[in-house]
Amino acid sequence: MKLEKITRRSYDDACATAHALDLIGERWAMLVMRELMMGPRRFSDLRAALPGISANVLTQRLEGLEVAGIVRKRRLPPPAAAQIYELTEWGLEAEPILLSLGKWAVRSPRHDPTLPLSAVGLMLSFRAKFDPARAKGVEVSVSFRFGEEVFSVGVHKGVLTSERGEADRPDVTVAGSPAAVAGLVYGKAPLKEWEKQGSLAVTGDRAALKRFADIYEMPPKAG
Amino acid sequence: MKLEKITRRSYDDACATAHALDLIGERWAMLVMRELMMGPRRFSDLRAALPGISANVLTQRLEGLEVAGIVRKRRLPPPAAAQIYELTEWGLEAEPILLSLGKWAVRSPRHDPTLPLSAVGLMLSFRAKFDPARAKGVEVSVSFRFGEEVFSVGVHKGVLTSERGEADRPDVTVAGSPAAVAGLVYGKAPLKEWEKQGSLAVTGDRAALKRFADIYEMPPKAG
DNA sequence: CGGCATCCGGGAAGATACTG
DNA sequence: CAGTATCTTCCCGGATGCCG
């Protein structure tokens, strides 16, 4: 059985930043939190979204985050009856940490945007890179479909909203992989290229999609 | 010589947050950056400010951060001729990461503010916890002395400034340990208690120090 | 003293296989 | 599907010693 010792290594530093790293500074911890930022997930969802993590380590991280009060384990009522993990209120409040990490690292000369990307990672990048000044006058509602995962993203009155689930009456719906959507929004290739190679399928107001993509622009790399 | 393999473990994830953790997610890396946030330091300064880090690991972290373009190694001109480490421009821009970590973790039920605290850690906490609304109408300049380390902190027109070095004409000067200053500013014990036990020595306008301390207030813990 | 290199022990992470 | 069990590998931490 278990019986393992919970001898967590600590920095023994009163600085709150150091304490944060005691809590969520271990390998994979913040990426597990990232995947929970858009709502509850199951164990195997997390494994699939985090290629490279082993079941072993995922179990340990979820245990540690639960003990720390960041993650809650819950069993859905029948007939679903599945076990899910979700962030607590306080865990959700860690979002600015993930966004500030992303905003900073996107300027890294070594950043490679061609690597695999999770759906939640893409949704959070929309939040991180959102600039209300560039969104002035833009009114649009987009539905993104990544296989089973569906997200609703809207820009209204200079505010970005994004959540899991189908949009009410989206202007446009985009289906494909997170990487292809990132390529469209952040890259230079026009929509037609992505459609030609079958990476994206768009239904609805294509001009609305362009208005959304035009909000985003890559910041310059650090020298 | 060296010849070691630089096979850094990577998350292989296009998400910029994951890339940030590739760069600065290793143990001690962000705390080394914290210690450099208020200006250049020497190897032994860093070791002293980070109790628990081994020379071995500190060397590795500094190398890694230098390769990543976050830290720069520089030799001071004679007669100092000392080797120092400093953050690059881009490295300095990581400050919001450290502050967001601190602002989040200070709500942890497990946070223990009685542990040892570095001078730089305290200075950054002043920035992290600063609330312009509470600073309205406050005009004060404080000089903090922690042994050899001197910092100048000012509040003017709702803006906090803090830097290494002597203040121009401070209203008040406080000498002691970072922990004692934190106890005064964030704790409940009044100044007289700290002076009575010889932890703090204050010269100048004591009311100015109180105005500064009153800006700060501990946020509530997470349930 | 500052800045490493080297060796070593323990423990965390990674890979794979297996189970209820 | 949701994890354990086991094994290997690698990283971290501590001690020591070199070299300018």
Spell out the per-residue pLDDT of chain B, length 223, in tens. Answer: 344 445 568 999 999 999 999 999 999 999 999 999 999 999 999 999 998 899 989 999 999 999 999 999 988 776 666 889 999 999 999 999 999 999 999 999 999 988 999 999 999 999 999 999 999 999 999 999 999 899 999 999 999 999 999 998 999 999 999 999 999 999 868 899 999 998 899 999 999 999 999 999 765 666 6
Query: CA-to-C1' distance for A204 and C18, Å?
Result: 48
SS3 per residue for B70-132: CEEEEECCCCCCCEEEEECHHHHCCHHHHHHHHHHHCCCCCCCCCCCCCHHHHHHHHHHHCCC
> Near strand D (CB < 7 A), which residues?
A 1-2, 9, 42-45, 54-56, 59, 73, 82-84; B 7-9, 26-28, 52-57, 60
Residue B158 Cα, gap to closest chain A Cα (Å): 23
Tens digit of pLDDT for each residue in A144-182? Answer: 999 999 999 999 999 999 999 999 899 999 999 999 999
Chain B residues 128-147 within an 8 A CB cutoff of chain A: 128
Paired residues of A141 in beta bridges: A154
Q: How far apart are CA B5 and CA A40, in angstroms?
A: 39
Q: Which nucleotides of chain D are near protein (any atom < 7 Å from a CB)?
A: 1-6, 10-17
Q: How far apart are CA B48 and CA A81, in angstroms?
A: 53
The two tokens of residue B132 are 């312009």
pLDDT confidence of residue A82: 85
**B44: Cβ under 7 Å from strand C?**
yes
Could you tell me the strand order of the sheet in which A200-204 lies? A159-164, A149-156, A140-146, A172-176, A200-204
- Which nucleotide, over all strands, has the C1' atom closest to the CA of B26? D11
A93 interaction partners in chain B (CB closer than 8 Å): 104, 107, 222
Interface touch B16/A125, C-beta < 8 Å: yes
Interface touch B23/A105, C-beta < 8 Å: yes
**A7: Cβ under 7 Å from strand C?**
yes
pLDDT confidence of residue A177: 95
Whether residue A100 lies within 8 A of chain B, CB to CB, comes out as yes
- Which nucleotide, over all strands, has the C1' atom closest to the CA of A73? D2
End-to-end CA separation in angstroms for chain B: 52
Higher-scoring residue by pLDDT: B78, A71: A71
Nearest to B15 among A103, A104, A118 (CB): A118
- Comparing CA positions, the residue from B93, B151, B95 lying closest to residue B118 is B151
In the predicted structure, residue A6 carries a pLDDT above the cut 60: no
pLDDT confidence of residue B130: 97
Q: What does the buried/exposed string (b/e) look like for A89-110 if buried means 16 or more CB atoms within 10 Å of the residue's CB?
A: ebbebbbbbbbbbbbbbbbbee
The two tokens of residue B138 are 């406050």
Paired residues of A140 in beta bridges: A155
Interface-testing mutation among B101, B106, B120, with chain A (most A C-beta atoms within 10 A): B101
Between the alpha carbon of residue A180 and those of residues A190, B94, B193, B202, the distances in Å are 11, 29, 63, 61
pLDDT confidence of residue B220: 60
pLDDT confidence of residue B148: 87
Interface touch B105/A31, C-beta < 8 Å: no
Whether residue A105 lies within 8 A of chain B, CB to CB, comes out as yes
* Dihedral pair phi/psi, residue B212, rounded to 5°: -65, -50
The mean pLDDT value for A77-94 works out to 90
Residue A2: pLDDT band with limits 50, 70, 90: very low
pLDDT confidence of residue B217: 74
In the predicted structure, residue A3 carries a pLDDT above the cut 80: no
